[in-house]
Structure 1
């Protein structure tokens, strides 16, 4: 596509976002909006986003965990505990479009910058609250993070195999899903602003996201009344659709379709398996999964993952090696797609991370701003919001605003 064609990385140009969120879900949403062209101001306390303390790894004292959620933002330090802090945010909200926050429910209200207070100033404001369990309900005031919500939402009970204890998804899956949902919901709310002139308060919770994330598993449970069992890499609704050991590693095979199952059996020189009374249909293969896995495990141990992949792909059998991150980073598809971007940081130097990878090739991340150091852009941001030098100096003198000392 031509460089002059429209691209979603400019979709939110002109949108101003005040981002009060911390750690994972909320910061991810703010970063995605920044990737799509919004001007995202990361509003932090003098102590900074809690996520800045998470690690290892670190690069020159900067948390890589924090940086990977905060590209395309600028950092403004505002001490909301000082008189005048709330008044400053109220002033900025007059010309902002979106507020993201992830305090416990009620905190923003107590600070004087909750939805009702800001709506009175700017009726168009879209105010997204990201919390563990939501703004209402019996669990409203409970603290929660990704791992805890993986536990209480049922997700953790389904991960692993029959011989393992419950397991957590290593990546913060609930944070990531909540961030993605927050981005799309805010964009939908901005569309409503265009048509009605009115903003709204969006209640985004890790818990709700975790339940939606388990759409098929929960729907299956509600239909059958049967709790899912831990079956490792397998899919509960089809077989063979799991990982198998090979001569040098593991390969994931999805050969459950009516045409691919016989093709796999033929490739393995066991055509009779395709019509075996225990394996002839998907329901039979699911019911006899253990027996099927035993049969296939013996056959697949004779070749390497790469050898099997070449043979299976030639027969249009869906498969792929279980790759570690060394293999992923060396993937020709990852390189072709340009999935890794380099972002600058005043302390850490260059930081590599996955970029925005949706839409057409023109939509890939523009790194306008690297992950900001704490308070890196305080004065710059306030100037752009229209504050005078005298007003900014007064805020600095009163300690309401802090500018990182190493900046000019």
Structure 2
């Protein structure tokens, strides 16, 4: 039996934080219905990769779900929502509170339908009245947190080009959902699970923020070079780039032996991680000189023998062909209608030994399961045909 088997989830989420949260729950057995706009939500078509226009991230964060289409602005659509909520355990909707209320998806409205419902509602900036209705995306969370300032260079800040804050918020929401379900077993009561991109970003940047609060160093960006230990940087071999990170004296000792500079171990400039970070430019130069005549494979093999964390800087194409990734068995290749090739869907990032997650089905087409979902809450074929004729579904 799956961990969340029997749990029913309504997913009104968009983009990543909401949909990926529900995908994680679905991987562990929850029944998830994605409620799409008639014609498909805007997040379905970002970075299109199929004949119908489904987007790359959409395929990843909407596996294991069924889809129905619904006009939430119509009274008949609202009635369908009420029926669905009455049969659900969890509602996921990563929208500002004002939008939730206008759609009747705020916690108070949902509780009137089902008192023990759990609402999972992430937004951009949190629930403080001054900021709760402002829109925001992953990059805004990164930038506000200070993370973008300390990436790149002083002349050119650089955000992560993958949505790290969105995905981390989804992980938090999934944890919050499971906690609320666990607590409900004891109390019999539902509650609202809150998260924000801003709070996630601040947590991810917390080390740099705490250091600044206590020491006031006002650090500038140093591209890929770490500020608090060294050598930690991206280095160029003859045929490609790789990253390595040396932290702590035992590892630094092994590194000095690897690069044939044992005298650096007792140099007072490099007595601890903080000092090594302050002199990181010099240590990166030593490392660059060591690897400039080595191939990427040779450099990585020597670093692995020295037990120093390192890895190639893969392009997306190289990542898909990487032997380490292949050996880790982390990619599920799935067929999708209209896709030119099989789609790589990436494994659930946390697993359980006895009740593991499972990626069972591809992301749904728009409204693919509308009829069967409506039939499940009491609509007959004639009523469903009428709803479709009136563009409610």
Bucket of the pairwise TM-score, normalised by the shorter protein: over 0.9
CA deviation vs aligned residue, 1:115-155 (integer Å, no higher than 9, x gap): 21210221110001121112333122222111222222322
C-alpha distance 361-381 of structure 1, shift in aligned 2 (>3 A): same
Q: How many residues align?
A: 392
Aligned 8 A contact 1:355 1:364 in 2: no
Q: Aligned match of 1:34 in 5, 10, 26?
A: 26
CA deviation vs aligned residue, 1:348-405 (integer Å, no higher than 9, x gap): 374222121322477665333311111110011122234344543443343322xxxx
Q: Which moved more, 1:65-74 or 1:317-326?
A: 317-326
Q: Which moved more, 1:379-388 or 1:17-26?
A: 379-388
Partner of 2:97: 105
In the alignment, is residue 116 of structure 1 matched against residue 108 of structure 2?
A: yes
Pairing of 1:171-250 with structure 2 (within 5 A): 171-250=162-241
In the alignment, is residue 270 of structure 1 matched against residue 252 of structure 2?
A: no
Aligned 8 A contact 1:25 1:176 in 2: yes
Aligned 8 A contact 2:226 2:280 in 1: no
In the alignment, is residue 12 of structure 1 matched against residue 29 of structure 2?
A: no
Pairing of 1:157-172 with structure 2 (within 5 A): 157-162=149-154, 164-172=155-163
Other structure's SS at 1:187 match? helix
Pairing of 1:247-258 with structure 2 (within 5 A): 247-258=238-249
Partner of 2:343: 351
The separation in 2 between residues aligned to 1:44 and 1:272, in whole angstroms, is 64
In the alignment, is residue 395 of structure 1 matched against residue 387 of structure 2?
A: yes
In the alignment, is residue 314 of structure 1 matched against residue 305 of structure 2?
A: yes
Other structure's SS at 2:136 match? coil
C-alpha distance 274-373 of structure 1, shift in aligned 2 (>3 A): same
C-alpha distance 21-319 of structure 1, shift in aligned 2 (>3 A): same
Partner of 2:276: 285
Partner of 2:59: 67
Partner of 1:125: 117
Other structure's SS at 1:278 match? helix
Partner of 1:3: none
Partner of 2:134: 142
Other structure's SS at 2:171 match? helix
Other structure's SS at 1:177 match? helix
**In the TM superposition, what is the alpha-carbon distance from 1:59 to its structure 2 partner?**
4.6
Q: Which moved more, 1:11-20 or 1:201-210?
A: 201-210
The separation in 2 between residues aligned to 1:301 and 1:109, in whole angstroms, is 60
In the alignment, is residue 54 of structure 1 matched against residue 72 of structure 2?
A: no
**In the TM superposition, what is the alpha-carbon distance from 1:56 to its structure 2 partner?**
4.2
TM-score between the two structures when normalised by the length of structure 1: 0.89
C-alpha distance 309-159 of structure 1, shift in aligned 2 (>3 A): same
Other structure's SS at 1:23 match? coil
What do you get for the CA RMSD once the two structures are aligned? Answer: 2.2
Structure 1 unmatched runs, 5+: 1-5, 402-408
CA deviation vs aligned residue, 1:247-295 (integer Å, no higher than 9, x gap): 2222322233222222222222222222223224333322222222223
Aligned 8 A contact 2:124 2:198 in 1: yes
The separation in 2 between residues aligned to 1:87 and 1:113, in whole angstroms, is 12
In the alignment, is residue 382 of structure 1 matched against residue 357 of structure 2?
A: no
C-alpha distance 116-103 of structure 1, shift in aligned 2 (>3 A): same
Structure 2 unmatched runs, 5+: none
Other structure's SS at 2:391 match? coil
Other structure's SS at 1:158 match? coil
